[in-house]
Amino acid sequence: MSQRLDGHVDGSGECADIRVQLGIYVFGAITPADRAPVVRHLATCPDCRDELVGLAALPGLLLRPPAVAAAYSSDHLAAAPERDPGPAVLNRTLGTITRRRRRRRRLAGFAATALTAAAVAGWATYLAVPAAPNPAASGTVLETDTIRGVTVLTNAEGFTLYWFAPDTATWSDCDASCARHWPPVTGPVTAGQGVPGALGTLTRPGGAVQATYDGHPLYTASLDTAPGQAKGNGLYSGGGVWHEMTVSGATPPASGPPASGPPAGDSEGSEGY
């Protein structure tokens, strides 16, 4: 050859025709019919062999070294039509990539299955374990306090609880304006420390649930403006006498005639309160 292949790539000679096939040959994607003339030409043309070496040196083409070696081995060139290592290498590479993709998909599937199972198990555990009791959701918590030497029941805020003499264990006789001055304690209730009596409930005329203690419906008093007060104890109002609810549940001993009338400043009269 009088000049290298890159000097007559655009010419009409045989090297120009072979040059356009070298890239396909290096990748092993050339057809058997096109491969035979390329192999014969490389056996006799050092310029095209040098061009093939330059192509094989590229990083992306290093996976095809058998094709480069074939350019310098006449024995290999003679056997080339019967044996084509290029497609075999390509097939092995594609097979490896396919196997890796399948393995990644399987691992992703296993991970998704494990996460789903963990989520189901977590919900099952959550549904199986009963919720801890919530005193606020169960109603008023009954506590105790000592007022003027007497241990009485209070609500969770420390306000004294009362019972009304005309009531029964299943009926509240305090309704309408009476209930505005003596708000019923909403049931059910929870016993705090030091509360030994029997707790219960009754249904008021309007359908509301009221708490009871030792058979007495429980109330607070609107005239008690702070914890530790018992201004309603012994007061006659609403058609009966009101008593602070003692821990023992017993009626406090009478120390004189019951007080009558509303608290100072109330103009409704004794029945109004």
Per-residue HEC secondary structure of 41-66 comes to HHHHCHHHHHHHHHHHCCHHHCCCHH
Least confident of 35-44, 92-101, 254-263: 254-263
Q: Return the domain boundaries, the chain.
A: 5-83, 135-260
Residue 173's SS3 state is coil
- pLDDT computed for residue 15 by the predictor: 86
Give the type of residue at 148.
R
| CA gap 165, 121 in Å, rounded | 56
Least confident of 12-16, 61-65, 168-172, 214-218: 61-65
H/E element holding 115?
helix 85-128
Q: Is 3 a residue whose pLDDT tops 50?
A: no
pTM score, two decimals? 0.46
Whole-angstrom distance between the N-terminal and C-terminal Cα of the chain? 127
Q: Is 76 a residue whose pLDDT tops 60?
A: no
- pLDDT computed for residue 102 by the predictor: 78
Residue 191's SS3 state is strand
Mean per-residue pLDDT of the chain: 75
Q: Is 1 a residue whose pLDDT tops 50?
A: no
Q: Is 17 a residue whose pLDDT tops 80?
A: yes
Higher pLDDT: 214 or 63? It is 214
Torsional class of 169: left (φ above 0), alpha (ψ -120 to 50), beta (otherwise): alpha
- pLDDT computed for residue 227 by the predictor: 95
Least confident of 1-10, 102-111, 203-212: 1-10
For 102-157, the pLDDT digits (tens) are: 777 777 777 777 777 777 676 666 555 555 444 334 467 999 999 999 999 999 99
Least confident of 124-133, 139-148, 174-183, 245-254: 124-133
Confidence of residue 265 (pLDDT cuts 50, 70, 90): very low
